[in-house]
Amino acid sequence: MATILVPGGAGFIGSHTVIALVNAGYDVVIFDNFSNSKPTVLERLKKILGKNIPFVCGDIRNREQIENVFEQYKIDGVINFAGLKAVGESVKKPLEYYDNNVHGARTLLQVMREYQCHNFIFSSSATVYGEPDSVPLTESSPVKRANSPYGQTKIDIEYMCQELQIAAPEFSMVLLRYFNPVGAHESGLIGEDPKGIPNNLMPYLCQVAVGRLPHLNVFGNDYPTPDGTCVRDYIHVVDLAEGHVAALKHCLNVPGVHIYNLGTGIGYSVLDMVKAFSKAMGRELPYKIAPRRAGDVVQCYADPALAKKELGWSAKKNLDQMAADSYNWQKNNPNGYDD
């Protein structure tokens, strides 16, 4: 079976994907600099998988460190989760975002080319669609100018992959556009553990649920949506992880550029999320209506038909499971991995 290098494998989506890969029979090497994760994740993965997963501490911007991994292991493919992802922070630190994300991905691709490893899967995002003209979004919906440096790094890396694939047609480039990943592994041992006050809805709900934050601020209830709050396509991280395995099986050693939306195809509002989370907790989650957040897209959800047709993959877990698993993770780890 193939050996897959997973930069960013200690992070939220990466750690869940490592489980899916190992369960599907792949050999995995995790590569991470812990800039947004903790070594505890590796112990938790060992508990879940019953074995140690090879790990290298390093930075994807450091060519020598990546070359050392390729010297040590025969790597067949790379799934790159390593990146900075806070939209607001990226506005304040654009150069750091281009350096970490774009320069990091470029360095990885350079080493891959040097070692004749031609299978690259990239964590892209529905953010590349900007404010959609219409929903649901298909893979051929227009890519729009990003409204943050973070979003622009996703577009830049997508283009870089496409351009390299023209120059080096042996590459299989898989660009996976995630919608809104939430939930956690059913064990409650791994999950999302953002630093500081969360920017995203689900981790914020989790911290309100365990009393770390007093209430949720719902950013705007006067949008042109059924209940006035914004609509997103929330997808369980375990389903998302399985999407990577499906993409790997389908695209490994199939040269070309393969682009897939990974979403459920269902849009839920912020108030739908509050309701589902209250159900998971067994009591009402406190919230207040607050002003709109600048730059928010009104509605964003996927047409997931292409992934179903070509990869044979579709999301299985519903909103109640997403809320229950997120809550279970936070309840068991009120302070995240710091316990």
Q: Which is nearer to ligand NAD, 203 or 220 (CB)?
A: 203
3-class DSSP state for residue 157?
A: helix
Q: Which is nearer to ligand NAD, 106 or 255 (CB)?
A: 106
Binding at 107: pick from ligand UDP, ligand NAD, none (beta carbon under 5-8 Å per type): none
- 235 interacts with ligand UDP by CB under 6 A: no
Smallest gap from residue 151 Cβ to ligand UDP (A): 9
- Could you tell me which of 10, 16, 14 has the C-alpha nearest to residue 187? 16
Whether residue 310 contacts residue 260, with contact meaning beta carbons closer than 8 Å, is answered with yes
Q: Where are the alpha helices (DSSP H) in 185-318?
A: 201-209, 237-251, 270-281, 305-306
- Could you tell me which of 208, 323, 210 has the C-alpha nearest to residue 276? 323
From candidates 201, 240, 271, 311, binder to ligand UDP by CB under 6 A: 201
Sequence letter at residue 164: L
Six token digits for residue 31: 């590569």
- Could you tell me which of 183, 164, 311 has the C-alpha nearest to residue 236? 183
- 85 interacts with ligand NAD by CB under 6 A: yes
The yes-or-no answer on residue 150 being catalytic is yes
Q: Which is nearer to ligand UDP, 69 or 262 (CB)?
A: 262
Length of the chain counted residue by residue: 339
- Exactly one of 150, 204, 287, 327 is catalytic; name it: 150
Smallest gap from residue 76 Cβ to ligand UDP (A): 33
Q: How many CA atoms lie within 13 A of 99 on its CB side?
A: 6
Phi, psi of 306 (to 5 degrees): -65, -45
Give the footprint of ligand UDP on residues 259-278 (CB under 6 A). 270
From candidates 187, 296, 331, 332, binder to ligand UDP by CB under 6 A: 296
From candidates 30, 75, 79, 82, binder to ligand NAD by CB under 6 A: 82
Alpha-carbon separation of residue 191 from 40, 105, 319 (angstroms): 12, 25, 16
Q: Which is nearer to ligand UDP, 45 or 126 (CB)?
A: 126
Q: Which is nearer to ligand NAD, 96 or 222 (CB)?
A: 96
Binding mask 301-330 for ligand NAD (x = CB under 6 A): ------------------------------
Query: How many residues in the shown chain lie near ligand NAD by CB under 6 A?
Result: 28
- 130 interacts with ligand NAD by CB under 6 A: no
CA distance 229 to 274: 11
- Could you tell me which of 279, 281, 296 has the C-alpha nearest to residue 207? 281
DSSP 142: P
Binding at 219: pick from ligand NAD, ligand UDP, none (beta carbon under 5-8 Å per type): ligand UDP
From candidates 164, 218, 241, 307, binder to ligand UDP by CB under 6 A: 218
- 104 interacts with ligand NAD by CB under 6 A: yes
Smallest gap from residue 19 Cβ to ligand UDP (A): 23
Q: Which is nearer to ligand UDP, 16 or 232 (CB)?
A: 232
- 33 interacts with ligand NAD by CB under 6 A: yes
DSSP 286: P
CA distance 99 to 260: 26
- Could you tell me which of 97, 128, 108 has the C-alpha nearest to residue 35? 97
Smallest gap from residue 215 Cβ to ligand NAD (A): 22
Smallest gap from residue 296 Cβ to ligand UDP (A): 5
Q: Cα dihedral sign for 203, 209, 211, 213? A: positive
Binding at 37: pick from ligand UDP, ligand NAD, none (beta carbon under 5-8 Å per type): ligand NAD
Which residues carry out catalysis? 150
